[in-house]
Amino acid sequence: MSPHTNYSISDLHIDPYAMSSFYGGNGVPTGHSEFAHIKELTGCNGYSITGLITHINATERHIRPLVPGIYAPTVAFFDEETEDLDIDTIKKHAVRLAKAGLHGLVTQGSNGEAVHLSHTERRIVTASTREALDEAGFRDMPIIVGCGSQSIRETIELCHEALLSGGDYAMILPPSYYGALYTSESQFEFFTKIADQSPVPILIYNYPGAVSGIDLNSDVITKLAKHPNIVGCKLTCGNTGKLGRIAARAPSGFMTMGGSADFTLPALIGGGKGVIGGLANIAPKACVEVFNLYHAGKMEEAEKMQAIIGRGDWAAIKSGVVGTKSCLQSHFKYGGYGRKPLPRPTPEQAAAYLAEFEELLLLEEFLMNGSRKENIHFDKESEYPDLIELEKLLS
């Protein structure tokens, strides 16, 4: 048992018979109809995951389709004292997002503090999220799992673990530690070899800020999009020109996604299928509503809502997962803190974060209450005239 957690690698058990049947001698799924058994997880913090059995038939299993829309890279939650995973809050948060109308969830993203989690913990988070969605009636909601690692070998391993934990797709960053030594051919080989052996379809995650500035161009991504097991990309680079080129040249059905809520509308206009954005942890209904308004042809309302979301997302971008968790804690009364060495905000900092999100939170409240006239925030008109104008249009 690890001295730092209440669970160990043995707590998430994968039946070796199922694994040996699933993997061929070259590490490629064989397609045999076997099961991976994830046994009950218990620890002195009192959480448990029971009865989760994931079918791993690579050729026959049900794959939940990715649909155009808004996806949230979910936050990982921890006990404030021990920093153990807070499973109850992870599950509660996933259901809250699903009920707000999101089209899918992502575990192990930047907001999910994947870099702070062990392999075991990654599997626990994904399995808990899948279990929560299923129990709440969202069995068809897909889960994308962040599986980025520096080597092809470990990334493939993470893709297999994603499947066995209930994930449907893998989202993968390019390798960066030896960035100066990599060529465009190196990156192409990295994604191609992973796609060849991954038991789940993959999405390319282009986020230069997280990988020493490595920025995959549209030529590379469009070429990779031809691989049958590469089904989409998330562009946190914010380059809408790149997004438009990929959307126009990639095979039909390729999910070209924006990577931040602050350019949802530009992404959709440019041909993107939607957005995977961290702001949806705070205001999922508002993020979805921009998508809905655009597709309903209500451009005036969509543009006004995008402006408010853009201001809210700027607050999230500046403060990162620290500000996002602080907002969740202050406004929704759950969230806690990131794992160390992430800083914990002071009371003054927490109040400042909340103030920057206020306009967006008011919009979210209005939408969640049904966009009724009696819920317009007339008392805030002097502070947020754009918000009141939008609420009047929507009511």
Mean pLDDT by 10-residue block, N- to C-terminus, for the chain (395 residues)?
32 35 36 32 39 40 89 97 98 98 96 95 98 98 96 97 97 92 90 98 94 92 98 96 97 96 97 98 98 98 98 97 98 97 97 98 98 97 98 97
- Site of tokens 């809408």: 240
Q: Just list the catalytic residues.
A: 234
pLDDT the model gives residue 61 = 60
pTM for the model:
0.87
pLDDT the model gives residue 3 = 30
Which pairs with CB-CB distance under 8 Å and at least 24 residues apart come from 79-84? 79/45, 79/336, 80/336, 80/337, 82/6, 82/45, 83/4, 83/339, 83/340, 84/5, 84/6, 84/7, 84/43, 84/45
pLDDT the model gives residue 179 = 85
pLDDT the model gives residue 212 = 86
Q: Name the H helices within 65-118.
A: 87-99
pLDDT the model gives residue 278 = 97
pLDDT the model gives residue 132 = 98
pLDDT the model gives residue 63 = 80
Taking Cα atoms as reference points, which of 146, 132, 45, 42 lies closest to residue 90? Answer: 132
- Token pair for residue 3? 């001295």
pLDDT the model gives residue 4 = 32
